[in-house]
Amino acid sequence: MFPELFRVGHLTVYSYGVLMGLGTLLAVVWPVRLARRDGIPVAKAEGLALVIVLSAVIGSKLLTVFDYPDFYSGNLDRVMDRGGVFYGGFLLAVVASALYMWITKLPGWRVADCVAPGLALAQGLGRIGCFLAGCCWGRETDLPVGVTFTSDLAHQITGVPLRVKLHPTQLYEAALVLLAIPFLLWLRKHKSFDGQVVLIYVLYYAVARFFLEFLRGDPRGHYFNDFISTSQFISLVIIPIAALLLVRLQRQSALGKSRDRQNSHNLGSKVRAGSMRAGELR
């Protein structure tokens, strides 16, 4: 655990902030490069990246304040110094980016497929930052994978329990999302329709997050007599929506391909009929 990397005078550089900054930078640069390969205007892609980053930061803080306001101890100055809830940033970024793409007339699903690998990379680096900072900790465990935090500074900042073995839920999630990246890149080259990459990743993450939440030990915000957390509730909403969208887009793609084949067949028939008539005229 290294919540504090180093100090320069009165400036403290935190590991969480460095990894979040690195993840954000890569989540901007990489999707823009992928979008350019797909013929999407770079300026519009960069504008979208800015919209996503800003809305994600705001959304994550807002959901944190709404869900458990004591996290910031009533001090607004700590809002930017501490983390937030991923799903809050994700949901607001989806709304803001959809509006941006509608205004700029970008092909939404195709662009979203470019964003998916960068999103997974940013999440993975962010969760490693969480581990170094001590936030988002897991429940107590006797398993060999358990980790023990000892930093008084981390306890002061995040409230992580010290000197007890905990599930490294931050590393569990980091591994799950980072290992998904090679598959996302492969799927992007072999996808059947636009939107397939991002929706499969969203569905995959929602399922993984739902089960990971059972191992989390930090304040979660709970519903239904403390049975599920806020993130689990959001996952349960996202899973059927993502699945239905996948089915709908797949059907639309199959219908479009069927129409293209039919049009091609009709065109070929007309060409053959025209050739036969031309032969008869000779």
Cα separation, 271 vs 13, in Å, equals: 71
Mean pLDDT of 219-248: 88
273 pLDDT above the threshold of 60: no
- What pLDDT sits at residue 270? 60
Cα separation, 207 vs 90, in Å, equals: 15
Strands (E), the chain: 4-8, 11-14, 147-148, 165-166, 222-223, 228-229
- What pLDDT sits at residue 271? 57
Cα separation, 222 vs 206, in Å, equals: 17
More confident residue, 86 or 8: 86
272 pLDDT above the threshold of 70: no
250 pLDDT above the threshold of 70: yes
Which stretch of 33-42, 170-179, 218-227 has the lowest confidence by average pLDDT? 218-227
C-alpha 57: how far from its chain's center? 13
- Whether the CB-CB separation of 199 and 249 falls below 8 Å is answered with yes
**Type of residue at 278:** A
Cα separation, 188 vs 37, in Å, equals: 12
On average, the pLDDT of the chain sits at: 86
pTM: 0.85
- Whether the CB-CB separation of 21 and 170 falls below 8 Å is answered with no
Cα separation, 54 vs 271, in Å, equals: 55
User: pLDDT tens digits, residue range 115-171?
Assistant: 999 999 999 999 999 999 988 999 999 999 999 999 898 888 888 999 999 999 999
Q: State the burial class of residue 207 (Cβ atoms within 10 Å of its Cβ: 0-12, 13-18, 19+).
A: middle
70 pLDDT above the threshold of 80: no
- What pLDDT sits at residue 276? 56
Cα separation, 25 vs 41, in Å, equals: 19
